[in-house]
Amino acid sequence: MKQCILLLTVVLAFGVCGVHAQTPQLIAGFEGDAKPVMPAYKAKGVIDTAGAITAETALSGGKCLKLTYSFEEKGGVYAEYVLDEHFPKGFKLTGSGASFSIAAKTTGKNIWLKFRIYDSKGETFQTSKFVMNGEWQKKTFRIDENDKGMIEGVWGGDNNKTIDYPARLGVVLVEGSGDGAVFIDDVTYIPAPAKAVKLPTGRIGKDSGTVIADFSKGPESIEPAYKQKILETKAQVSADHVLSGKKALRVDCTYDSRGFAEYRLYDYLTGFDAIVAGSALSLSVFTPDDNIWIKLRIHDAKNETFQTTSMKLKRGEWVKKDFRIDHAPNGEFDSIWGGNNDKKLDLPLQGMNVIVEGEKGGSVYIDDIRHISAGALGELDALKKIAALDIKIPDKKIYLFARGQSPEFVLSYSGLVGNDVTAALTAEVKDFFGGTVQRHQETVAVKGTEVKEIKMPLSAEKTDTGYYTVTLSAEDTYGNPIGEQKTVSFGIVDGKNTARAKPGDFIYAMCAHPGGAQLDPKSPYYGWLLYLGVDMLRWDFTWGGVEPKRGEWKWENLDKLVENHLAVGVTPAPILDYFVGWASKDGKGRISDDFTPFYNYVEKTVTRYKDRLRTWEVWNEADWGFWPDEFDRYIELYQETYKRIKAIDPTLKVMNSGWAFIDRPSRGLTDISFDRTDRFLKAIGKNIDIYAYHAHGNMNELYEQKFPKLREQMKKFDLAGIPFWDNESGYTTVGRQTESDQAEMLIKKIVSVQAEGHKSYFWYDLLCDGPDPKEGEHNFGMIRYNDRNYQEPKPAYLAYHALLRQLRGLRFASSPDVGEGLTAHLFENDAEAVCVIWCKRDVEQLTYLSVGSADAVVTDCIGRAKAALVRDGKVAVNLSKLPVYVRWKKTGAAASVSLGPKVISIADIVPVLLDTDNKVKITVINPFAKPLDASLRIVPSELFRGTVTPDNIPVSLPASGTKTLEAVMRTPSLGGASDMITVTLTGSGETIGQAKASMRYSMPLAAKGRFMPGAGMNAWKHVSVFAERKELKDVVNLFEFDPTRRNMHWRNADDHSVTAKLAYDDTSLYLLFVVKDDIHFQNETDDKLWSADSVQFAVSKDGAADSVLYDVGLSGGKVLMYKRGPGDKTLSIASDEIKASVTRDDVAKTTVYEVVLLRKYIGSDVFSFNFIVNDNDGEGRKGWLWLTQGLGNARDPKLWPSIILK
C-alpha cells in the first residue's frame, strides 16, 4: 500500500477538521485496483489496444496501469481510456489553480499521452502532449484554461472556454503510431492553496452596480422595432411588478406559433456608452406566464449586432442574468452579424434592444438593468468558486426507490477558500409536472475548507410512483448566489419488473454500448436493467473486439458481458459487424476484397454463443452509410452469412442489418435507403427470419413514411409470416426536444409499433453517451451521464418502467375509434384490459369512457396510479398529449372501450374577427341517467382583450338530455395564436365536463398594390416584411442528429434564410420570397421540386381539411410550378390561376421568387396560409425553413395563421 493513499483517506474522512487543502493527494496508485480496463473509444487506425492493472513494473508500490497499443504507422491515431474510474469515489477537481501530476513510461516510440478534463457544464479541455521514453518520467499539468502550453483544445458544453467547477479528470488518450505499451502510475492531485478571497459586502446587481435603464423616465410606451410571427404586441411602463424603483417595462406578446418581438431600449438608457470591457450587463425579468424567453441585441461602435443566448424565465419569479461584455465575445452570444463583421465588440457600445420570444402568449416585466463593473464581476466569480454544492443519496448506486420508502438526501456545502462563510441553503423537491413536494431551508456557518452536510429525509407520504428532482442552491447573507446550483433526479417505482416475454409475446428491449465499466457485474448499469425488466439488449459484437489481429482471438471480455446480462434476465441481441484494419484492402477497417476472414469471425462467434443467443443481426444500418462499399456487396455478405449461420444451427434466427430506413440519400449516395432495402428483399428471397428497421424520427415520420413503406414491402415481397422488429429507435433531448417529450415519444412509439403488428421494440439507448448537453448523440439515453456514474434517471426511464408494468403479459387487441382528436390502443389478457389513450394535439380535456367495468384505475405516463372517478358507470379521464393507461377487470370474453357521451361539444377552432359579434355555439349533453342542474362557464385565455356574453349560463337537463347554447365573443384587438376558450360544466361542486377550443384570430393584410412577377425587389421596398426566417429555431434540418453529416447541417443565415412579403389588390394575392442561399441546386421535374431548392406555399379557405399547396422552383433555367390538393393529390393549374418569376443572383447568393395568385382560386377573403423554403446543396434535401408548423412534415391547416383580405 502506498503511503499517500492513507493521507487521502484522512483528508476525505476528516475534511471538516480543516486539513490543509494544498496537501498532494494520490488519487490513483492502482494498488488493490481490480477494475477491468477497456478502451472507451478507438479512432480509425487502431489495430488493437487493451488495458490491465499489472505487476510487471511500478514507480512505487507493486502495481500500475498498463495500456498496450497497436496503431497504424500514419501517426495521430489514438485510443481513449477512462481514467477517473480508478480514482476514489466522488473525487472531483474543485477549483482553479490546482494541478495534477502523472508518472509514465513506454516501450514504444512516437507515442504520447493527453488528458481530458470535463467541467460541470459538459465542456471538454484537452491537455498538451506528454511525450515518454523507456524510463519513468513525471509531468505536472497546471489546471488553467488560459495556459496555452497546458491546454491545447476546448470544445462542447456551454463553450465559454472557462472551466466550471467541480470538474473531473476523465480520460487519458494514448496517441501516436506503432506498437508497444504505456505504463502509468502515481496520479497525484495538488489542490490550490486555500487562500482567503475578497467577498462582496452587499447585494451584487442590486445594491451595487449602476442602473442604466430608468423606466420612470422616458416614453410611456414604445413601438416594436421588429416582430416575427406576432399577432399583437405592445410595450408600456407599468407599476404592476417592480423589482426596484417605481416602474418596469411591461411587454405583452401574442404569438403565432413561436415568434418574437424586438424593442429598442435606447430612450431609457443612460451611461450605456460608458460600459467597458470586462464588465457586464445585468437584467432582471418577471413573467406570470410560461414558455417565454428573453434575449438582448447589443450594437457596438461599428454597427455590428451581438445577440445573447436565451434567458430562461420562471413563472411567478424574478430571474436575473448577467451578460458579460468583452472584446472577444464568449459563449453568452449565439449570433453575430452586420457592421464590420469582425466578430469583436468595438467600444463604446451604441445601444441595446430586447427580444421577447415565446410560443403562446404572455407578459414580461423588465427592470433593474444595470452595468456591473469588472470588480463586481470578480466578486460574483469569487462566490461561484468559494463552495461546491452537492446532493448524495447514501448507499445508493442508482437513485431509484420502491414506493413506500423514505429517501434521505445528504446536502453538502464544501468550502473551497480560506474565508469563513455563512450560507443559506435551500433544497426543493419537485415532481414530474413541476409541483413542489418539499422545500427545506437551513443556514450553515462554514469555516474555510470545512464540509457541512445536512440530512434531508423525504417522507414517503409526500411522494408516489414517479419522477422527481432535488435542487440545492446557496446564498450569502446578502442574497448573492454561492457556488453552482446542483440538481439531482430520482425515481420511485412499484418494484422490479421481474416478468419476461414468453414465446409469442411482444419483446420489450433496449440498445446500449456496454464496455469496460460493464465488465463489473456490480456496475449501476445492471441495476437499471434489473429494475426495468426488458427482455433483450442490442449491441455490437464487433469483429475487431474478438480478433484484433489475424488468428489472435480474445473472448474474455465479451464472455463476461454476455454472462452479466444473462444474470439480470436480459438476453443479448448481437450485431455481427465492422471490418478490421488487418483484413481490409486499405488497412483502415473499410471494405475487404475477400470476405472469408469475416465469415470465419461469424462462424466462431455464433458457434461460441449459439446455445444462449438465438438471434443474429448482420451489420448495422447498411442502407445508410455504415456500409463502406457498393450495396450489392452487402447483399453478397448477408447471403453468405445467413447460409453459414444456418449451417451451424438451422433454428437460429438471422435478420438484416437494422435499416436506418429513410426516404432520402445518405452521404452522397444517389439511391435512397428505401430503394436499397427493396433491392435487398428482391435478392435474398426467403433467406430472412426477422425483418429489422429503425425509427428515430417523430410520430409523423413513423406513421407517414415508415409504416406505409413497411406495409408495401410486406405485400410486395410476401413478408407476412416474418416478424418485424423496430430494433433501434429513440429520441434525443437537445434543442427544442425536452425530457418530457422523450418520455412521451417512448410510450407512443412502443404502443404504435404493437398496434402495427410488429413484434419487438428496442429503445435507443439506456445510458447517455457523454457529458455535452448540446450534442445529440450524448442525450439519447434514459440514464444521465453523471461523470460516468450513471446514478440518475431521466423521465423516460420511469415511463418505460411504467409501460412494462402496465402492458407486460397483455396482447394488443384493437385501436378503437374513441372520437376525433384522440388516439387509443387496447391491450388485454384473459383477466384484464388496458387502454392507452392520448390527445393528438397539445390540449387537455375531460373525457368519459365506457369500459364495461366500474373497477378502473388510471395511471399517468410515469407510473402514478389512482382509482378512476366513475360516474353512472362511466370512467372520467383527464387527457392530454401525454399518454395515460386506463386499466380494468374484464367481465366478458373480449374487452371493449368506447367514448362516452361528449358532455360539451364546441368547434375545434373558434374564428374571431375583430370588432365583430362572433357567435359561439356550445352543445351540452347530460351524461347521467338522472336530471342535471349545473352551470356552464366560458373562460377565454388571459390575453383575450374582449368580452364574452354571457360567460356563465345556468343549465337544467333531463336524464340524457341535450341543449345547444350560444355566447357572443367580441374583441377590438388580436390575441395570441395559442389562445384557447375553456368551457366547463360544473354541478354539485364537481366538474362534469370540460372542453377547450383554439381561438383563431384573423389577421388583416395591410399592404395593397399590384406587383407582377419580374418587377423585382425594388418594387416591394415600401411593403413591410411579413416574415423573416434566419435563425436555427426557424429551420427543420433532416440531419440534425447525424454527427457524420456536418455538411448537411444548417450553418447560418448565409447558408439559408428567407424574407417574405405579401400584398393584395381586388383580384390577386402577391407574394415575394427573397432567399439567401450559398448554393442554388435544382434540376428536378415539377412534381419533385420540393426535393431541391424551391418554395412551397399553401392556402386553406376553411382552415381545416380543404387546402391547396403550390410548388415553385427554377429548374434547368425554367420556372416550374406544381399544385397539390388534400392528401397530396395532383391538381391541374388553370391558365389564369398563378404566374411566377424566379431569378438567381450567384454573386449576391440570392434567389428571388415573385408569385401572383388570383383570389378567386383561394375561395375566401379569410383564409389560412403557410410556406416553407426547401434547401438542397447538391447532396440531397437538407431541410427547410418554415413560416410555422403544419407544413413540411405534414399538412395541417389548423396550425396555420389566418389572413384577411379587406
pLDDT digits (tens, 9 = 90+) for 424-465: 999 999 999 888 999 999 999 999 888 999 999 998 888 899
Asked which of 453-457, 559-563, 690-694, 892-896 is least confident by mean pLDDT, the reply is 892-896
Give the cell for residue 796: 423516460
Burial label for 500, CB within 10 Å (0-12, 13-18, 19+), is middle
Indicate the pLDDT class of residue 14, thresholds 50, 70 and 90.
very low
- Euclidean distance between CA atoms 537 and 495, whole angstroms: 21
What are 720's three cell numbers? 407476412
Tens-place pLDDT, residues 1096-1109: 999 998 877 789 99
Could you say which DSSP state residue 703 is in? I
Q: pTM above the 0.85 mark? A: no
Tell me the CB-side half-sphere exposure of residue 1088, using CA atoms within 13 A. 11
Give tens-digit pLDDT for 978-1035.
678 999 999 887 888 888 888 877 767 777 888 989 888 889 988 888 889 988 778 8
pLDDT at 492 over 50: yes
Q: Mean pLDDT throughout 226-240?
A: 84
pLDDT band at residue 7, thresholds of 50, 70 and 90? very low
Nearest to 926 by CA among 985, 995, 883: 985
Q: Which residues pair with 117 in a beta bridge?
A: 125, 169
Please state the rounded mean pLDDT for residues 674-697: 94
- What tens digit of pLDDT does each residue of 253-292 get? 887 667 889 999 988 988 887 788 888 888 899 988 777 8
Quick one: three-class SS letters along 630-647? CHHHHHHHHHHHHHHHHH
* 348 preceded by a cis bond (ω within 30 of 0): yes
Cα–Cα distance, 898 to 849 (Å, whole number): 6
Question: Concatenated DSSP letters for 206-249?
Answer: TTSSEE-B-TTSS-SEE--SEEEEEEEEEEEEESSS-SSSS-EE
At residue 1 the predicted structure's pLDDT band, cuts being 50, 70 and 90, is: very low
Q: Say how far residue 547 (Cα) sits from the centre of its chain.
A: 37
- Give yes or no for residue 1141 having a pLDDT over 80: yes
Q: Which residues are registered as beta bridge partners of 440?
A: 427
Lowest mean pLDDT among 565-579, 799-813, 905-919: 905-919
Residue 1145 is classified by DSSP as E
Q: What angle do CA 960, 964, 970 make, to 5 degrees?
A: 145
Q: In angstroms, rounded to a whole number, what is the distance separating the alpha carbons of residues 1168 and 956?
A: 38
How high is the pLDDT of residue 20?
A: 38
pLDDT value for 570: 98
Q: For residues 1064 and 1161, is the Cβ–Cβ distance under 8 A?
A: no
* Candidate from 255-264, 791-800, 1050-1059, 1070-1079 with smallest mean pLDDT: 255-264
The listed range with the strongest mean pLDDT (217-221, 246-250, 689-693, 851-855) is 689-693
Domains, the chain: 3-190 (2.60.120.430), 210-372 (2.60.120.260), 385-493 (2.60.40.10), 507-809 (3.20.20.80), 812-899 (2.60.40.1180), 904-1003 (2.60.40.10), 1005-1204 (2.60.40.1190)
Q: Which amino acid appears at position 1027 of this protein? A: A
Task: Work out the end-to-end distance of the chain between its first and last CA atoms, rounded to an integer number of angstroms.
Answer: 88
Least confident range of 104-108, 127-131, 928-932, 1062-1066: 928-932
Residue 1194 scores a pLDDT above 80: no
Find the Cα–Cα–Cα–Cα dihedral 732, 738, 739, 740, rounded to 10°: -130
Coil, strand or helix: which one is 39? strand
**Contact between residue 322 and residue 312 where contact means Cβ atoms under 8 Å apart:** no
User: What single string gives the DSSP state of each residue in 556-570?
Assistant: HHHHHHHHHHHHTT-
pLDDT at 330 (0 to 100): 65
Contacts of residue 1117, defined as CB under 8 A and 6 or more positions apart, other chains included, come to: none
Average pLDDT value for residue range 168-184: 94
Mean pLDDT of 835-853: 84
Query: Widest CA span of the chain, in angstroms?
Result: 96
Task: For residue 438, count CB atoms less than 10 angstroms from its CB and return exposed for 0-12, middle for 13-18, buried for 19 or more.
Answer: middle
Query: 244 near 206, Cβ under 8 Å?
Result: yes
In this structure, of 67-76, 633-642, 1084-1093, 1168-1177, the range with the lowest mean pLDDT score is 67-76
- What are the backbone dihedrals phi and psi of residue 1068, each rounded to the nearest 5 degrees, phi first? -140, 160
| Residue indicated by cell numbers 495534477 | 100
Query: Is the model more confident about 214 or about 171?
Result: 171
**Mean pLDDT over the full length of the chain:** 88
Q: What pairing do the DSSP bridges indicate for beta strands 536-540 and 507-511?
A: parallel
Whether 9 has a pLDDT exceeding 60, the answer reads no
Q: In what order do the strands lie in the sheet with 387-392?
A: 387-392, 408-415, 451-457
Q: What is the pLDDT of residue 671?
A: 58
- Give the pLDDT score at 213: 86
What are the grid coordinates assigned to 1019, written together?
A: 418594387
Q: What's the rounded mean pLDDT across residues 37-61?
A: 88
Check residue 667 and give its pLDDT: 45
pLDDT score at 4: 33
Q: Tens of pLDDT along 278-329? A: 888 888 999 887 778 899 999 888 888 888 888 878 778 898 888 888 776 6
